[in-house]
Every structure is written in structure tokens, then in C-alpha cells.
Amino acid sequence: MIPRHFQITISFLLVAILIAGIYITQLRHAEETKTQQGLTARAGAPEGRGEEETIKVLVAYDDDLALRWRKTQAFIPEQRDLRAQAVLRALLTQYLQTPSPHPLGKGADIKDVYFLNDDTLLIDTNAQFADGHPSGVLLEQMTLTSLIETLTANVPGISKVKFLVEGKERETLAGHADLMSFYQVSAVHELAREFQ
């Protein structure tokens, strides 16, 4: 026979586990709701003058290891740097949906873009974009290729692109894809053809 004080202790532990499970479920639901509201707010809070446009985005599909063009609606500002940022965010919105054809880290975002001159663009991502990115040569290449191809399809005149994370250089995206170098758009076009 189990002593009474052990029975009481086990009962309290079971109740504590049940309460913790309910609490964790509520936290997960609240986090998912907050993420969805953030996506909606980001898409619905345009900066500058512009209008709703149909744009082409090159979406990565992990199951097929392929890139495919898709059309989507997005508010696109007139100003060139804001246009570039809006186009990239429209693509990220495709990846942050559930289910996603190419899942990225929760909260991944493009913080800002900077034109160094007319044909060179710096893309500043947040930490979640890089820290939460799945590791793998092909997955990382598909992400960067889809971003650069989507960008150049909707913002003409860009020939070089470099990625930053939280405003700083980083060696790789998630251990493989180089983030220290500038990407030549012509070379990325060739790489994109291999995935199509």
C-alpha cells in the first residue's frame, strides 16, 4: 500500500502538470494570434504614397526543391526603397503563412533596405530571419534566390544585393549561404533557372 503522504504528493503533481499544460496551450495560442496580427498589421500599414498592385513573387517550395512564380496583391509605395521593402515583405508573407511552402523563423522580417547607388541594394533583415532559418545549403540558397529574383522582377535597375542582419554583417545565413559578399543579380538569375 502506498503511504497517504505519497498519494497526496502525486495528486498535487498531477494537478500541477495539468495546470501547466493548460497554461502552455494558452500561451501558444496567444503567440500565434499575435504573430497573425503582426502579419496583418505589417501588410496593412503602408508607408508613403502608392497603391495596391499585383506583383510577381518567386516562391520556394521545399518539398519539390523548386522555385515558382506566383502573383500576389500588395500595397506598393512609389518611392524606390519603400517599394523594394514592400515587395520583399510580400514574399515573406507567403513564407510565414501556415502551412508554408518554405517555412522561415517566426517573426522573420525585412527591417529596411538601403540603396548605396542606383544599382546596389543592402537588405537589412531582423535576427529572427537568420537565427530561425532552417539550415541547409539548398534551403538557404532558395531563400536568397527567391528574395533577389522577386526584388529585381519588381524593382528594375538593381545589379548587386547584399544582406545584413540587424544592421551588421554576418558570415552565413544559417551556416551555409554566404552573407559577406555582394550577390550579382546576373549570377542569381542563372541559379534561379536551375531551381525552375
Same domain flag for 40 and 59: no
Same domain flag for 22 and 115: no
Q: CA-CA distance, 7 to 4, in Å (whole number)?
A: 5
User: Do the beta carbons of residue 129 and residue 109 sit within 8 Å?
Assistant: yes
Tens digit of pLDDT for each residue in 59-106? 999 888 889 999 999 999 989 999 999 999 999 998 888 888 888 888
Residue 23: give the domain boundaries. Answer: 1-45
The helix (H) or strand (E) run that includes residue 68 is strand 66-77
What pLDDT does residue 7 have?
Answer: 85
Same domain flag for 83 and 9: no
What pLDDT does residue 44 have?
Answer: 46
Same domain flag for 26 and 64: no
Residue 88: name the closest of 155, 181, 41, 135 by CA: 155
Same domain flag for 2 and 57: no
Same domain flag for 31 and 93: no
* Residue 95: all three cell numbers together: 513564407
Look at 50 and 9; give whichever has higher pLDDT. 9
Beta bridge partners of 77: 50
On whether the pTM is more than 0.95, the answer is no
45 confidence band (pLDDT: 50, 70, 90): very low
Check whether 30 has a pLDDT greater than 90.
no
Same domain flag for 9 and 81: no
Same domain flag for 25 and 105: no
What pLDDT does residue 190 have?
Answer: 86
Q: Looking at beta carbons, which pairs linking 38-45 to residues 24 or more positions away fall under 8 Å?
A: 38/107, 39/93, 39/96, 42/89, 42/93, 42/109, 43/74, 43/75, 43/89, 43/90, 43/93, 44/75
Q: Total structural domains in the chain?
A: 2
Same domain flag for 1 and 62: no
